[in-house]
Structure 1
Amino acid sequence: MTVVEHPAVVERVGKWLGTLPAGWTGARLFELADAWTSNVDKHSVDGEQLVRLSNYVDVYHNDSIVESLDFMTATAAREQIKRFRIRIGDTLITKDSEAADDIGIPAFVEYEADDLICGYHLAIVRPMPKKVVPKFLFWTLRSEPIAGQWAVLASGVTRVGIRSADLKKVTIPRPPLGEQQVIADFLDRETARIDALVAKQEELIVLLRQRRSAAAELAVSGVRPTGSRLKHVIRSVRQGWSPQCYAWPADGIEKWAVLKAGAANGGIFRPTENKELPANENPRPEIVVRRNDLIVSRANTRDLVGSAAVVEGDFPRLMMSDKLYAFVLDERRAIPRFVATVLGSERWRDLIEIEATGASSSMLNISQGDIVNLPMTLPPVEEQRRALAELDEQTVRIDDLIVKAKEHIAFAKERRAALITAAVTGQFDVRTVASTRKAN
């Protein structure tokens, strides 16, 4: 018997999923799965049971929840453990975030334990037996049509989220169960192939960055960490200011903005690492960065405190935060980019980390005095210039290879996303593709 669907259902399915193959239907999530949000946060409460949380980061950065993940520990009440314990076959999704694009990111649960529960800012989606194949449901929730629906359903201003009442409203494709399994198996295989290619490109980038670091180390190998101090080539120092700013960045040219501590990370000046200054705050032109300033991070993690970079360009409305210093060097004796390269080298990183202080490794500080008193006997300017030219010759080639590797990764990820969407919406028959590959 042919099932005639209500015109409103047909319209809704067509809007989000397009034209589905014969024998497929569209269904609301609540028709195929239970879904509910967790209220278990990361705090510990006396008298509650110790548990492990599968938290937001576990879901956001992984396709699967597996035993090897480093789960956070917390406590939960008995009824919370019962309600939010995850099971193999569940899909966890991100429910809240700062951007709508980060809503509804799924991870498939492949590991369960009595003490492993779903954490705050997440929701559990549990497939109904005999109505949907669990892995097919996961891949469907990973597809672009579903992501588009989450973006529409998300509400909020500074932080957006999916209301519990809206969680089950998304429309998903529903092929016959046997076909769901075939699609899920196909996507498991094909995405694994793509992920392996991406992993190889990421490994290549790591090796290329190591080569780049080695080239930089060689360029400054003649500088000795003894004798003269850095202060002998410094003409002036400025420190920034940290007012309460908007969360979003500004251009620093037409609109006033304050640089964040990360603006000097990795030896590269990043002008977009800033926050826009509110209109009710008076700007301070005296702390605007200037071309050829040597910017140094005063406060950061152990690996990044003391990071140095040179301002390349003019940003008349881009101010430093109080976590940054700007050093103006005597360029007759010191080329700013050469000094930044020295400060980023292994020997000076060790000196900086020794001088840095702080109660927590997540945020250390280094004083202006410690920076200017770093020992640094620089070669003549002509030798500095020659070393930078040789370094540029090598790094241009390395950077080009890194860019190409990143392009390959971006293309592979786009192909992966398109493949998932096409498979779960029936844009092609996965069985035909699989049989063609076997024939070849």
Structure 2
Amino acid sequence: MIIRRPMTPTTIGWLKGLSIPSEWTQSKVKYVAPGMQAGESITAESIDPTGTYPVYGGNGLRGYTEAKTHEGTCVLIGRQGALCGNVHLVSGEFWASEHAIVARPSEACDPRWLAYLLHVMNLGQYSQTAAQPGIGTGQINPLSVPLPPSLEQRAIADYLDRETTRIDTLIKEQQRLIEMLCERRASVVASVLTPTDSWRWLRIKHIGQTCLGKMLDAGRALREGDEPRPYVRAADVRADGSVNLVDLNEMPFSETEMGTFDLRVGDVLLIEGGATVGRPGFMFEAAPGIAFQKTVNRLRVGPQADARFVYWSMLRLYESAYYANHYGSVSFVHLTGEKLREIALPFPPVDEQRQLAAHLDETTKRIDTLIAETERFIEFAHERRSALITAAVTGQIDIHEAA
């Protein structure tokens, strides 16, 4: 959009050389939100799923309690952690915990506009520590801000409320589409892998060899004959079944160990524990010199089974909540080699395995393409939302013309 109103250069550092409308002034956070201070501590035992007053921490709503520390409309800023500097607008009577900074707008300041402004300022960048990010009023109060007249603040807030609501609605619709596509994908896999009377059940130990990723401690000293080698961890097994083989961590391996923990095309990898226990990955490409770590199991099938069919079968187990149902919970499940070898799967003849695996590869590829396109649309929508807020609160668009 072409800016038609007069613009004036500003010395506000975070605007990075942008000019602001000439009728706007320049102020500081401590003047638009005077008396900014941290909330009050509260124990976890005092917070319940329901109650009279909401409890807000640095990342939003934590629960409810029977006392309050504030009332009115305020902006809460996260103080600590990876999300320090995030912003929430809250209204009513509530308890603000010590993990949040409470910013109460001045009488001449629209609280919605202030929340949008503080969001755009990316306050997390002013954190003083890297190990445990954190900010305080001392870093926020002195920051300079562009200040439009009160009426324009409200107009900007009205405009952004309307436009961001439209974008958020669109994002939710696309997220729901992804959920439906994922459900469709799982349904296709389950349908194709439904056994018939001609299929036979075999334990994994009868279709090939499994190797439990029991390696030596990653922190061990380098011994004679060892070489630092890259290795695959559970985090490198992606949700789509591919395996990250780039920028891997390294640890010492001997040549003998590499012969045991090597990875080849067609290997099926299974996450051993955690929330994604049993999620499979598949080695589509050669990985010379790359091993696997103890949080991963490797399954290398023999001639009586097709590796891709085994991958799809293991994915069906994972998506059917097999491990949670079989072991009662995934919280403490460790899919050791011993447990893995005893799992029984239905198998048709090998030729039919290959046909079914090829059908699943092709069918799910089309669904995955739609999911990827939808994810890109959501990413673009988030970028559009962020850019719109930034442009409006910094005066780079005239919201009256935009409306």
TM range (shorter): 0.7 to 0.9
Match of 2:362 in 1: 393
Inter-CA distance 166–350: structure 2 relative to 1 (3 Å threshold) = closer
Amino acid at match of 2:293: S
Amino acid at match of 1:117: A
- Shift, 1:156, TM fit: 2.0
Match of 1:184 in 2: 157
Identify the match of residue 335 of structure 1 among 302, 306, 320: 306
Work out whether residues 204 and 343 of structure 2, in 8 Å CA contact, stay in contact via their aligned partners in 1: yes
Trace 1:262-277 onto structure 2 (pairs within 5 A): 262-264=235-237, 266=239, 268-271=241-244, 276-277=249-250
Inter-CA distance 347–241: structure 2 relative to 1 (3 Å threshold) = closer
- Shift, 1:195, TM fit: 0.7
Taking the aligned partners of 1:150 and 1:137, their CA distance within structure 2 comes to: 16
Amino acid at match of 1:340: Y
Amino acid at match of 2:304: R
Work out whether residues 16 and 171 of structure 1, in 8 Å CA contact, stay in contact via their aligned partners in 2: no
Trace 1:351-366 onto structure 2 (pairs within 5 A): 351-356=322-327, 362-366=331-335
Taking the aligned partners of 1:325 and 1:229, their CA distance within structure 2 comes to: 16
Gaps of 5+ in 2: 1-7, 47-51, 220-226
Match of 2:252 in 1: 282
SS in 2 for 1:408: helix
Identify the match of residue 118 of structure 1 among 97, 110, 114: 97
- Shift, 1:349, TM fit: 3.8
Inter-CA distance 407–161: structure 2 relative to 1 (3 Å threshold) = same
- Shift, 1:337, TM fit: 2.3
Inter-CA distance 51–14: structure 2 relative to 1 (3 Å threshold) = closer
Q: TM-score, normalised by structure 2?
A: 0.81
1:232-277 CA distance string (max 9 Å, x none): 01224131448568xxxxxxxx985554434446461342799734
Match of 2:266 in 1: 292
Taking the aligned partners of 1:15 and 1:191, their CA distance within structure 2 comes to: 22
1:133-166 CA distance string (max 9 Å, x none): 11000011122xx12x642x22223333224421
Greater mean deviation of Cα atoms: 376-385 or 309-318: 309-318
Amino acid at match of 1:55: G
Does residue 94 (structure 1) correspond to residue 78 (structure 2)? The answer is yes
- Shift, 1:186, TM fit: 0.7
Taking the aligned partners of 2:55 and 2:231, their CA distance within structure 1 comes to: 36
Inter-CA distance 93–243: structure 2 relative to 1 (3 Å threshold) = farther
SS in 1 for 2:85: coil
Match of 2:316 in 1: 345
Taking the aligned partners of 2:65 and 2:175, their CA distance within structure 1 comes to: 33
Work out whether residues 203 and 341 of structure 2, in 8 Å CA contact, stay in contact via their aligned partners in 1: yes
Gaps of 5+ in 1: 1-6, 59-68, 76-80, 246-253, 435-440
- Shift, 1:344, TM fit: 2.1
- Shift, 1:20, TM fit: 1.0
Taking the aligned partners of 2:247 and 2:53, their CA distance within structure 1 comes to: 38
Taking the aligned partners of 2:40 and 2:215, their CA distance within structure 1 comes to: 38
Amino acid at match of 1:388: A
Match of 1:78 in 2: none
Amino acid at match of 1:432: E
Number of paired residues? 378
Trace 1:51-66 onto structure 2 (pairs within 5 A): 53-58=55-60
1:340-376 CA distance string (max 9 Å, x none): 2112225984543344367xx5443334222211122
Greater mean deviation of Cα atoms: 179-188 or 163-172: 163-172
1:203-233 CA distance string (max 9 Å, x none): 1111111111111112211278974212101
Inter-CA distance 272–193: structure 2 relative to 1 (3 Å threshold) = farther
Work out whether residues 30 and 169 of structure 1, in 8 Å CA contact, stay in contact via their aligned partners in 2: yes
Identify the match of residue 294 of structure 2 among 322, 339, 344: 322
Give the root-mean-square deviation of aligned CA atoms.
Answer: 3.4
Amino acid at match of 2:370: L
Does residue 134 (structure 1) correspond to residue 111 (structure 2)? The answer is yes
Amino acid at match of 2:307: P
Inter-CA distance 267–14: structure 2 relative to 1 (3 Å threshold) = closer
Q: TM-score, normalised by structure 1?
A: 0.75
- Shift, 1:202, TM fit: 0.9
Match of 2:372 in 1: 403
Work out whether residues 95 and 104 of structure 1, in 8 Å CA contact, stay in contact via their aligned partners in 2: yes
Inter-CA distance 392–269: structure 2 relative to 1 (3 Å threshold) = closer
1:304-338 CA distance string (max 9 Å, x none): 322222122234465433222112111x2112221
Taking the aligned partners of 1:129 and 1:201, their CA distance within structure 2 comes to: 39
Amino acid at match of 1:296: L
Does residue 425 (structure 1) correspond to residue 398 (structure 2)? The answer is no
Work out whether residues 288 and 317 of structure 1, in 8 Å CA contact, stay in contact via their aligned partners in 2: yes
Work out whether residues 263 and 274 of structure 1, in 8 Å CA contact, stay in contact via their aligned partners in 2: no
- Shift, 1:111, TM fit: 4.5
Match of 1:376 in 2: 345
Match of 2:284 in 1: 312
Taking the aligned partners of 1:17 and 1:124, their CA distance within structure 2 comes to: 29
